[in-house]
Amino acid sequence: MYSSPKTVVVLGAAYGGCRASQILAAGLPESWRVLLIDRNSHMNNVYIFPRLSVLPGHEHKAFIPLSKVFLSEDPTLLHRCLQATVTSIRRDSITLSRAFPEHGLATTVVPYDYMIYALGSLMPPPLDLWGTDPADNIVQAKPGRNLPVYRGTKSEGIAWMKEHQKIVEDAPTILVVGGGALGIQFATDIAAIYSEKKVTLLHSRKRLLPRFDEAMHDETLKVLETMENVDVILGERLDMSSVKEQPVKHNELGQRIVRTVTGREIASDLLLMCTGQTPNTGLLKEFDPATVNPDNSLARILRTMQLSVLTAPLTSTGELEDALKQVIISEAAASIPTLEEPPMETPYPHIFVVGDAADAFGAIAAGHNAYYQGEVAARNILHLIRRSEGASGEDEPLEQYTPGPPAIKVSLGLDTAVFQSQGIVGRRDGASPDLGAALMWPAFGFKITDDDQMYE
């Protein structure tokens, strides 16, 4: 009688999910399989999306096929990459948008033994390929081009990018809202590629890139001030009611007028809203609301990357008195050194969360952090499996994740970038037009020796 293999499901095939899948595929016992599930047929290299959605000729390089993601061509392995949407999560199963009978999944319900939730965050409107309503993605002054419908294939992604490029090309004036990495990249790329366009960068705070060292703001602003076709407005927030109000307000040139909360009016032919990302934790919230922090929509995790639950508030005088006693005891013992945090328990020791969806102890939402979190989660799952099978030496505690210092690299036009790494802030010149797109492909099993190989 056929017996289904034990299964680790990995939800999301981006930086963290793919890396976790590779470690699992290399280390799982023969009777186990990895099911890597993503709604895309490929990995979206979102770090080069801003550049390639403006600069024509390189758009195909941003979409990396998942056909070699496990870094092995051994036909006896049970691991599979499935293109589907996850519609619900339960303690021991997930439900997909379709079945895969060719892989032994006769129904849409897929049982699992362990899960890694790596569904990241929802992209801001100008880069949200799945948000196909032009009124939501980009705000044009006059009815114009429509972004094509995207349903997760590489050809659709390329078509989407090309149409986005044309929309930017057609707009004489552009307002970019948001002074994080995305807004800065859009503003400087557009200004560098189209010197005749007027670009306005509006940011609600006095500092650009506020989560990083102040020197990052200083270096970025120096470059922006050298761009004659860029105006920077800091410390003013866009009044969103002016974006949605009807009838739309236009000036004599046909440009759309929006205003800040102070009443300043800004006219443009195209509005790009680059104001952050939203954690993609809706499935976890439906599964167990206590796993998602209502203040930031991030999943609560332990340092082992295991899903946890929010601590219940104190509800009685007795509980408060007990808590105060614990504080006094803790203060009395404060001089006693501890080597590590005390172990914590979770009702979901078999579920892990990595990447932008995780409330990962101050780690910024970035691909390199998701990558390392995916490694920790995968190694801990392998550890738990070996422990359950009675392997010697597996009674050691699980690995704990500690985020490194903030790090980032932001392009400032076609030739310059500003970076922060290991506490050092600096500028680099001489970047390639496609921002080194080929460098990411080997991590997914492709050795690139010619740009044409990235059409695959």
**What does the pLDDT look like over 296-339, one tens digit per residue?**
999 999 999 999 998 654 344 444 344 334 433 333 333 333 33
The sign one gets for the Cα dihedral 160, 163, 168, 171 is negative
Which H or E run contains 64? strand 63-65
pLDDT at residue 146 in the model: 80
**Which residues are 408's β-sheet partners?**
420
Class of residue 194 by CB neighbours under 10 A (exposed 0-12, middle 13-18, buried 19+): middle
404/146 Cα distance (integer angstroms): 42
pLDDT digits (tens, 9 = 90+) for 184-229: 999 999 999 999 999 999 999 999 999 999 999 999 999 999 999 9
430/327 Cα distance (integer angstroms): 56
Q: Is pLDDT of 119 > 90?
A: yes
CA angle 300, 43, 304 (to 5 degrees): 25
Report whether 167 contacts 190 (CB < 8 A).
no
**More confident call, 125 vs 70:** 70
- One-letter amino acid identity for 289? P
pLDDT at residue 296 in the model: 95
298/35 Cα distance (integer angstroms): 24
User: Among all chains, which residue has been given the structure tokens 């049970």?
Assistant: 78
pLDDT at residue 262 in the model: 96
Q: Could you count the other beta carbons within 10 Å of the beta carbon of residue 76? A: 6
- One-letter amino acid identity for 21? S
Q: Could you count the other beta carbons within 10 Å of the beta carbon of residue 453? A: 13
Mean pLDDT within 23-48: 96
pTM across the whole model: 0.90
81/75 Cα distance (integer angstroms): 14
- pLDDT bucket at 344, cuts 50 / 70 / 90: low
**More confident call, 385 vs 138:** 385
Residue 247: asked if its preceding bond is cis (omega within 30°), the reply is yes
pLDDT at residue 330 in the model: 36
Q: Is pLDDT of 163 > 60?
A: yes
Window from 53-62, 133-142, 222-231 with minimum mean pLDDT: 133-142
47/57 Cα distance (integer angstroms): 17
Question: Pairing relation of β-strands 270-273 and 139-140?
Answer: antiparallel
- Provide the 8-state DSSP code for 339: S
The per-residue pLDDT of the chain, averaged, comes to 89
- pLDDT bucket at 109, cuts 50 / 70 / 90: very high
**More confident call, 116 vs 423:** 116
